[in-house]
Amino acid sequence: MRKGMLIATLFSILVGIIAGCGVAKPSSTPSEAKPSKGGTLTIAISANPDGLDPHKTVAAVTFEVTKSIYDTLVETDTQGNLHPGLAERWEASEDGLRWTFYLRKGVKFHNGREMTSADVKASFERILNPETKSPRAKDYAIIEEIETPDDYTVVFVLKEPRAAFLSNLAYGWAAIVPVEEEDLRNHPVGTGPFRFVEWVPDSHIKLKRFDDYFLKGRPYLDEVVFKVMPDPAAKLAALKAGEVDVVDQVPPQEVEGLRGDPALKLIQAPVNGIYIMALNNAREPFSKKEVRQAITYAVDKKGLINAAQWGQGTPIGSHMPPVSPFYVDLTDRYPYDPEKAKELLAEAGYPDGFEVTLIMPQPYDFHIRNCEVIADYLSKIGVKAKLETYEWGTWLKQVYFGRDYQATCIGHTGRLDPDPFLNRYVSDAKENYMNYNNPRYDEIIRQAAVLTDAEKRKELYAEAQRILADDAVALYLMSPLWTVGMRKEVEGWRIYPIDIFDLREVYKE
């Protein structure tokens, strides 16, 4: 543990992405050769970001891009351990209510101005300002006050101790932005290793090396281009042809075929995240627990993984990936039993089943495949699923923010601490798009959030997972494998436990 730091991280989790990945020996490891400088790296991404303002976005793909534009006070390594970012060191008071961060001096924004404590203060006040409508405000609502005793010192005063506070500063949405900038969505300005050049929606985002970056000698690349390519087949064709250098996600059915291509290599690891079929607990018929339980009994998760993900995944029984040290194995809670599912539907008043609209987010092919296989399972218990495809922006607006849906297939990214991951089910949480309401669950999550006793926290989070499983709040499907494909000349690529592509160490031979 670093000197002067009382808490580095309560629990480090294993390396990964979603969406986040867990520990596994990658198919390819970074080269020990001396890095080459210069060149352009072209990365194929699956969708447009939902803006480039880090305080107003939720999509995983956004933070894959914005990590290169912005920096945070604290950073994570591939093992989930926390390290200095824009803050060179920090310390906490014994009661856990005051966190003091000492900033690096001479850090420049892309507009040429030096970053100071005023920018840090303004960044978090911006997140917390209701007018910003930040979907991440709840992560920092624990902040009572922010003090700036000088240009290079920031003190966060908390309302109560919060175990996840430090790790919450490492996420992409905790980016420090200049106080004077306004249109960050379209013209982002940060302190990151690359500066923004242009964004052509549905085409590409171009970044250029920031020569005044505070880490001397980084980045190695001159330019990065994120090419928006929703079609998985088109992405792979572009990778094989050398038109792109990296593909953010390789479909599971293509993994084995790519392994045999001498021009390519793969990095693969278990995901620190999960796939689920989210159910709107406030809308019929899923407002009835028996119906939700019936849906869970109706789906053979191992069969689903084989059919939809070519066997590349692990079944789960609640809202936690197996790579997490807090994980409780609840996969036996609802064994595959279609007859039991029919009995529960009859008890709930649906002896002949019902019709449901199952929304599939485009361009996420893996979620679409899950929905299609689930629909087939549901048909066997009399539930007719009407499949509808929503463009990603529409999905966010209607399902995630609007909560106007019955069921949808989606994934959730793991966190460095379980509190933000499980907090989405608290009844008044902005991210509670499943409209779950359970006072006991709320009490558990709020109690665990302020504890510093590791074992007691683990016990509480175990109970929380059991409650979600018993109530069948969602259909918890799997924790998948994540595969990044790239040309063999790409070196230095690493997989992290949060949604970032850290390109500072990446280069092309």
- Three-class HEC string of 442-471: HHHHHHHHHCCCHHHHHHHHHHHHHHHHHC
Q: What is the pLDDT of residue 413?
A: 81
Residue 334 is given by DSSP the state S
Closest CA to 175 of 233, 107, 234, 222: 107
* Weakly modelled stretches of the chain, pLDDT under 50: 1-31
Q: How many CA atoms lie within 13 A of 244 on its CB side?
A: 23
Q: What is the pLDDT of residue 33?
A: 65
The total number of structural domains in the chain stands at 1
185 in any annotated domain: no
200 in any annotated domain: no
260 in any annotated domain: no
Whether residue 358 contacts residue 395, with contact meaning beta carbons closer than 8 Å, is answered with no
Length of the chain: 509
Type of residue found at 498: I
Whether residue 394 contacts residue 328, with contact meaning beta carbons closer than 8 Å, is answered with no
User: Is residue 337 packed enough to be buried (19+ CB in 10 Å), middle (13-18) or exposed (0-12)?
Assistant: middle
103 in any annotated domain: no
User: Is residue 122 packed enough to be buried (19+ CB in 10 Å), middle (13-18) or exposed (0-12)?
Assistant: buried
Q: What is the pLDDT of residue 323?
A: 81
12 in any annotated domain: no
**What's the predicted TM-score (pTM) here?**
0.74
CATH number, domain containing residue 447: 3.10.105.10
317 in any annotated domain: yes
Alpha helix stretches (DSSP H) within 87-171: 117-128, 165-168
Whether residue 85 contacts residue 75, with contact meaning beta carbons closer than 8 Å, is answered with yes
> Domain of 360?
273-482
255 in any annotated domain: no
Q: How many CA atoms lie within 13 A of 442 on its CB side?
A: 10
Give the tokens for residue 455: 């074992």
Closest CA to 380 of 342, 335, 334: 342
Give the tokens for residue 338: 């279609």
Q: What is the pLDDT of residue 5?
A: 29
168 in any annotated domain: no
